[in-house]
Amino acid sequence: MAAQVQSEWLDGPIKSYLGPGCWNKGTVIHELGHATGLWHEQNRPDRDQYVKVHWDNIPDAVKSQFNKASSKEIDSLGTKYDYRSIMQYTGTAFGIKKNGKQLTTMETVNPYYQDIIGKGSGLSLIDIKQLNLMHQCPPYTGKFPLRKQTDTCYDADEYCSRRVPEKGCKDKQVQKLCRFTCNLCATGSGTDPLPTFPSVTIPPKWTPYDPNPDCPFKDVWSNCKDVKSLCHQGGSWGERMKINCRKTCNFCGQPSSLPVTTKPKTVPATNPPAATTTLPSVTSKPPVSVNPACRDTIGNCPSLKKFCENSGWVHILRTRCPRTCGFC
């Protein structure tokens, strides 16, 4: 990944627009990387030491995607070139097709990584380190998957994090393209139809709200928590989530179960004159009925409250901590 030296933060959310064919976990994270100020890895000033670009195999219209940026435009903050970065293109990205085969556009100086680049579905360790350095966040101390793609065990397609949930690892084409994600390298046969996708395990303090415990429905998919970000996505994915991840996404009906009505409470006034205040009855509702604009979506908003009026953070906190920051 490569970080911009300067980013122009707007007073409000930064919007990323993705076409119908782009709703793949790795693609979404890649585009959000741009929104947080990241360049493509192959644009780094030092990229020629790590990647050889085959210009003859790239259409003229997209050659700019492979241009090197100057050191004035990119500051990698002391981190080394990262073949596993989510911001790195695949070795055949934008390649011209010849005899039905897409030609190589980038060749790694270290051949070990040739079939690995551009195949990740989440942030790499260096991605996380550089984002924390760029935004002056504390170092990441959470868990990270031990499994990594190798030169003999890798996904042949960068869209495996979408193919596997859609078709499953028993599908012959998926088995051929997604050997790493489907855990087929060691056994040679499908043993895990719902594999654990390689992804970062976020510490508890960053964990979003848990699924509604009163929801009468059960998830159909066992990996709903891994695709929770698609709960309110429009189109076919949104419809799939409503059917297969009802509990995780809080699609539990209105209300999700029998309403629980609290008894009126009598609260003594703290200031004279002495008086009592009777609170009205409150009927609990599932989180889905709460206005999203008036709800924090991460658990550590109180510790981030000091950044609520910081121009570099307001665009993030407006959507993540609207309640704590008073944006409701």
The amino acid that residue 92 corresponds to is T
Find all residues with CB under 8 Å of 258, minimum gap 6, and list them. Answer: none
Q: Tell me which residue of 164, 166, 165 sits closest to 180, measured CA to CA.
A: 164
**What is the full DSSP assignment across 5-54?**
S-----SSPPP----GGG--HHHHHHHHHHHTTEE-GGGSTTGGGTEEE-
Q: Are 108 and 115 in contact (CB under 8 A)?
A: no
Alpha carbon distance 125, 85 (integer Å): 8
**What does the angle CA 51 – CA 53 – CA 58 come to, to the nearest 5 degrees?**
145
Task: From the candidates 8, 31, 158, 309, give the one annotated as an active-site residue.
Answer: 31
What is the separation, in whole angstroms, between the first and last Cα of the chain? 35
Q: Is 75 exposed, middle or buried (0-12, 13-18, 19+ CB in 10 A)?
A: middle
| 217 neighbors 244 (Cβ within 8 angstroms) | no
- Distance separating alpha carbons of residues 129 and 234, to the nearest angstrom: 32
Whether 141 and 203 have beta carbons less than 8 Å apart is answered as yes
107 in catalytic set: no
- The two structure tokens encoding residue 9: 């933060």
The residues pairing with 201 across neighbouring beta strands, listed in sequence order, are 143
Active centre residues (catalytic): 31
